[in-house]
Amino acid sequence: MSDQKLIEVENLKVYFPIHGKGLFRREIGAVKAVDGLSFYINKGETLGLVGESGSGKTTVGRALLRALDPTEGQVTFYLDDGQTVDVTALKGKDLRNFRRYMQLIFQDPRSSLNPRMTVRDIIAEPLVANKLEKGKAVDEKVRETAALCKLNLEHLRRFPHAFSGGQRQRVGIARALVSNPKFIVCDESVSALDVSIQAEILNLLMELQEELGVTYLFIAHDLSVVAHISDRVAVMYVGQLVELAATEELFFSPKHPYTEALLSAIPEVDPDLAMKPVILRGEIPNPANPPPGCRFHTRCPYAEDICKTDQPVWQEIEPEHFVACHFADTLQLKGVVADTAAENGRNT
Amino acid sequence: MSTINPVLDKETEEAQRYYSASQWQLVWWRFKKHRVALLGGLVLLFMFLSGLFAEFIGPYGGSTRNIEYLLGPPQIPRFWDENGFSLRPFVYGVTTERDPETLALIPITDTNVRNYIFFFIEGEPYKLLGIIESNIHLFGVQEGFVHLFGTDSLGQDLFSRVLIGTRTSLSIGVLGVLISFFLALFIGGVAGYAGGWLDYGIQRFTEIIRVIPIIPLYMGLAAAFPRDWSSTQVYFAMTLIIGLVGWPTLARRIRGQLLTLRNEDYVMAARLSGASPYRIISLHMLPAFMSYIVVDLVISFPYVILAETALSFIGLGLRPPSISWGVLLQDAQNIRAIEQAPWLFIPAAFVVVAVLAFTILGDGVRDAADPYSVH
For the CA atoms of A22, A27, A33, A37, the dihedral, rounded to the nearest 10 degrees, stands at: 180
Q: Identify whether A294 is part of a domain.
A: yes
State the best of B204, B273, B278, B291 to mutate against chain A, taking most chain A CBs within 10 Å.
Answer: B273
Nearest to A106 among B6, B21, B269 (CB): B269
For residues A250-261, average pLDDT:
89
* A15 beta partners: A32
What pTM does this model have? 0.69
pLDDT score of A244: 93
Quick check: A191 pLDDT over 90? Answer: no
Contact yes or no for A64/A234 (Cβ under 8 A)? no
Q: Are B272 and A111 in contact (CB < 8 Å)?
A: no
Give, in degrees to the nearest 5, the angle at Cα B120 between B117 and B124.
90
Name the pLDDT band for A50 (thresholds 50, 70, 90): very high
**Contact residues, B window 244-303, toward A, CB-based 8 Å cutoff:** 264-266, 268-276, 279, 284, 287-288
With contacts defined as CB-CB under 8 Å, which chain A residues touch B264? 111
CB contacts of A155 in chain B (<8 Å) are 19
Q: In what order do the strands lie in the sheet with A102-105?
A: A102-105, A183-187, A215-220, A46-50, A232-237, A240-246, A321-323, A315-318
Work out the number of other CB atoms within 10 angstroms of the CB of residue B213: 8
**Mean pLDDT of all residues in A244-258:** 90
**In the 8-state DSSP scheme, what is residue B87?**
E
- pLDDT for residue A46: 93
Q: Give me the residues paired with residue B134 across strands.
A: B126
Position A245 scores a pLDDT of 92
Q: How far is CA A102 from CA A55, B264, B352, B367, in A?
A: 23, 20, 59, 40
For an interface test with B, which of A159, A171, A177, A217 has the most B Cβ atoms less than 10 Å from its Cβ?
A159
Q: pLDDT for A281-335, tens place per residue?
A: 777 888 888 888 888 888 888 888 888 888 888 888 888 899 998 888 888 887 7
Contact A96 B288 (CB under 8 A): no
Could you tell me if B361 and B91 are in contact, meaning their C-beta atoms sit under 8 angstroms apart?
A: no
pLDDT the model gives residue A345: 47
Q: What are the b/e assignments for A293-326, b being 16+ CB within 10 Å? A: bbbbbbbbeebeeebeeeebebeeeeeebbbbbb
Q: What pLDDT does residue B6 have?
A: 45
Could you tell me whether strands A240-246 and A84-86 are parallel, antiparallel, or unpaired per DSSP bridges? unpaired
B-chain residues within 8 Å CB-CB of A187? none
> Is the CB of B266 less than 8 angstroms away from the CB of A179?
no
Task: Evaluate whether A137 touches A124 at the Cβ level (below 8 Å).
Answer: no
pLDDT for the residue numbered A347: 44
What confidence category does residue A137 fall into, taking pLDDT thresholds of 50, 70 and 90? confident
Mean pLDDT of chain A: 85
Chain B residues whose CB is inside 8 A of the A114 CB are 266, 269-270, 284, 288
Residue A144 belongs to some domain of the structure: no
Instruction: Give strand pairing partners of B133.
Output: B127
Domain that holds residue A335: 250-348
Question: Cβ B264–A111 below 8 Å, yes or no?
Answer: yes
- Determine, yes or no, domain membership for A310: yes
Question: What is d(CA A141, CA A136) in angstroms, rounded to the nearest whole number?
Answer: 9
- Whether B24 and chain A come into contact, CB under 8 Å, resolves to no
Instruction: Decide if B268 and A67 are in contact by the 8 Å CB cutoff.
Output: yes
Peptide bond into B59 cis (omega under 30): no
Kindly report, residue by residue over A62-93, the tens digit of the pLDDT. 999 988 888 888 999 898 877 888 888 888 88
Residue type, B124: E
pLDDT band for position A338 (50/70/90)? low
Which residues are bridge partners to A74 per DSSP? A10
Task: Quote the CA–CA distance of A342 and A252 in Å, as a whole number.
Answer: 10
ipTM of the complex: 0.81
CA separation (Å) from B352 to B49, B102, B148, B359? Answer: 18, 37, 20, 11
B371 contacts on A by Cβ (under 8 Å): 161
Q: Give the pairing of strands A46-50 and A232-237.
A: parallel
Q: Are B265 and A108 an interchain contact pair (Cβ–Cβ within 8 Å)?
A: yes
- For residue B274, give the nearest of A113, A126, A158 by CB distance: A126
Buried-exposed string A43-81: b where 16+ CB fall within 10 A, e elsewhere: bbbbbbbbbbebbbbbbbbbbbbbbbebbebebbbbeee
Q: Which of B19, B272, B372 sits opposite A103 (nearest CB)?
A: B272
Residue A172 covered by a domain:
no
Q: List, run by run, the mean pLDDT of 10-residue segments along chain B (375 residues).
A: 44 63 73 84 90 84 78 80 79 78 75 80 78 81 80 83 87 85 85 79 87 78 76 79 81 84 85 84 79 78 81 76 81 77 84 87 77 52
Q: How far apart are CA B44 and CA B49, in angstroms?
A: 8
Report the top-level CATH class of B161-369.
mainly alpha
Residue spans of the domains in chain B: they are 75-146, 161-369
- Tell me if A65 is assigned to some domain: no
